[in-house]
Amino acid sequence: MNKFWIILAHTYMSKVKSKSFIITTVVTLLIIIGMSNLSKVMDYFNKGEASDEIAVVDESGTLYSPLKEQVESVNEEITLTKFPGNEKAAKEAIRDGEYDGLLLIRLNSTGLPEATYQAMTIADTTTANEIKNSLQQIKTQLAATQMELSTEELAKLYEPVDFQQIALEKNAKTEEELNQARGLVYVLLFVIYFSVILYANMIAMEVATEKSSRVMEILISSVSPIKQMFAKILGIGLLSMTQMAVLLGVGYVSIKQNLDSMQGGFFSFFGFGDIPLATIVYAVVFFILGYFLYATLAAFLGSLVSRIEDIQQMITPMTMLIVAGFMIAMFGLGQPETPFITISSYIPFFAPMLMFMRVGMLSLPIWEPILAIAILIVTIILLAIFGARVYRGGVLMYGRSNSFKDIKKALQLTKNEKNKL
């Protein structure tokens, strides 16, 4: 077997079998399954919880029944009970835990309702808001009656305005499609962002570990550093594919199965109902390119440090680039057509996330993503050539190495050795 494949297989196998890999994968899987079953989980916990009992002291004498009816029709988990005593006695009852809250209602001078809500804590705003909304409706009705408005007139007043957005471009996405795309792109951006950071870090760590444990000197006396670097990048790349395939596969099945319970909720907003194939393909392509771009960068940065402790310092600028790309992409989700986003999406270090975001959100002519992909590939090749030279010298350098001057030093060490590449 070629030495390249031996290293690749070794990198892949030793990582796949490692405890940390298995644990991260399992934990992430659990989170994915948990998220996709979120509504079931929430239902399960809500069932056990008793409803909120609110004591009502009604000074008007007329508001209690309509309010109770209104509140309980909206939310079954709130029960209003008329409190027989005065305010002071009611407060006592709350302190004793008989009720969860106290509502004082009365009519003000203009004959409209006003209320005070008291509870031990007011951290839970849901209950108070529900009651407030119900009371608001009653107030509206009372006010309408005072103004002698008919029910029809009232309905007219509250009817929402008819407002539609229509895109004129032929392939432009409809508003609904855009919302869906935004959700999907948002999730996939996160996936790209996290995985690129994670795996690029893994590469840098791997190289730094070999260097700091000094096994590097044996390795480079057997196999050329260039071969090692690329075998390692590909090995970890395969590892990332394995992890992604497992996560996406399980996630897909789990979401499909729970689709009914999610209809109309959080997930349909995120566009999981019907996933457009093109978006997924672009996500995979840009993920792979992004991975190679940053993995190459990480590998040669990793080759410059001699102690593992220095690795974070060395790759922080790279992490910053990824974070910057992600931030711009997040900002761009709301306005993907601004010139700033368009231009940034051709900058190699931002392209994986930004061009993917644009391609997912807009209907771009095909040459745009292809141009970005081409730019990325060229950058990766340039970076690989440059990185390989730094790597060759870098792996032999020991001592304090915290600065980017070391890149120059490493290049000098490699000089005159190009013919060996």
Residue 6 touching another protein (CB under 8 A): yes
Residues 14-33 that bind another protein (CB under 8 A): 14
Kindly indicate which of the ranges 113-121, 129-137, 197-205, 216-224 contains the residues binding another protein, using the contact rule CB under 8 A.
216-224
User: Helix, strand, or coil here: 1?
Assistant: coil
Residue closer to another protein, measured from CB, 226 or 289: 226
Residue closer to another protein, measured from CB, 156 or 214: 214
Given candidates 146, 343, 420, 421, which one binds another protein under the rule CB under 8 A? 420
Residue closer to another protein, measured from CB, 6 or 371: 6
How many Cβ atoms from other residues are within 10 Å of residue 360's Cβ?
Answer: 26
Q: How far apart are CA 421 and CA 413, in angstroms?
A: 14
* Residues 199 and 367 sit within 8 Å (Cβ to Cβ): no
How many Cβ atoms from other residues are within 10 Å of residue 343's Cβ?
Answer: 11
Closest distance to another protein from the beta carbon of 409 (Å): 9
Kindly indicate which of the ranges 27-35, 83-91, 121-129, 410-418 contains the residues binding another protein, using the contact rule CB under 8 A.
410-418
Kindly indicate which of the ranges 4-12, 156-164, 326-334, 360-368 contains the residues binding another protein, using the contact rule CB under 8 A.
4-12
Residues 346-365 that bind another protein (CB under 8 A): none
Half-sphere exposure in the Cβ direction for 219 (13 Å, CA): 24
Given candidates 220, 259, 280, 324, which one binds another protein under the rule CB under 8 A? 220
Residue 132 touching another protein (CB under 8 A): no
Given candidates 3, 40, 132, 405, which one binds another protein under the rule CB under 8 A? 3
347-351 CB contacts, 8 Å cutoff, 24+ apart: 348/293, 348/375, 348/376, 348/379, 349/293, 349/321, 349/322, 349/325, 350/321, 350/324, 350/325, 351/286, 351/289, 351/290, 351/375, 351/376
Task: Copy the structure tokens of residue 29.
Answer: 């899987």
Given candidates 54, 80, 189, 216, which one binds another protein under the rule CB under 8 A? 216
Of 114, 109, 2, 96, the C-alpha closest to 58 is 114
Residue closer to another protein, measured from CB, 190 or 398: 398
Residue 7 touching another protein (CB under 8 A): yes
- Ordered DSSP codes for 172-210: PPPHHHHHHHHHHHHHHHHHHHHHHHHHHHHHHHHHHHH
Kindly indicate which of the ranges 47-55, 142-150, 217-225, 354-362 contains the residues binding another protein, using the contact rule CB under 8 A.
217-225
Residue closer to another protein, measured from CB, 3 or 40: 3
How many Cβ atoms from other residues are within 10 Å of residue 250's Cβ?
Answer: 17
Residue 405 touching another protein (CB under 8 A): no
- Cα-trace Rg, the chain: 31
Residue 254 touching another protein (CB under 8 A): no
Kindly indicate which of the ranges 6-14, 45-53, 132-140, 193-201 contains the residues binding another protein, using the contact rule CB under 8 A.
6-14
Of 130, 121, 132, 183, the C-alpha closest to 361 is 183
Dihedral, CA atoms, 349, 354, 355, 360, nearest 10 degrees? 150
- Ordered DSSP codes for 67-79: HHHHHHHH-TTEE
Task: Copy the structure tokens of residue 360.
Answer: 């997912």
- Ordered DSSP codes for 373-404: HHHHHHHHHHHHHHHHHHHHHHTT--S---ST
Angle at the Cα of 184 (from 179 to 189), degrees rounded to 5?
125
Given candidates 51, 82, 417, 421, which one binds another protein under the rule CB under 8 A? 417
Residue 165 touching another protein (CB under 8 A): no
Given candidates 181, 210, 289, 297, which one binds another protein under the rule CB under 8 A? 210
Given candidates 16, 104, 143, 223, which one binds another protein under the rule CB under 8 A? 223
Kindly indicate which of the ranges 118-126, 179-187, 287-295, 411-419 contains the residues binding another protein, using the contact rule CB under 8 A.
411-419
Residue closer to another protein, measured from CB, 6 or 33: 6
* Residues 382 and 401 sit within 8 Å (Cβ to Cβ): no
Closest distance to another protein from the beta carbon of 15 (Å): 11
Residue 1 touching another protein (CB under 8 A): yes
The dihedral sign for the CA sequence 141, 144, 146, 149: negative
Kindly indicate which of the ranges 32-40, 41-49, 211-219, 296-304 contains the residues binding another protein, using the contact rule CB under 8 A.
211-219
**Which residues are at the interface with another protein (CB under 8 A)?**
1, 3, 6-7, 10, 14, 209-210, 213-224, 396, 398, 413, 416-417, 420
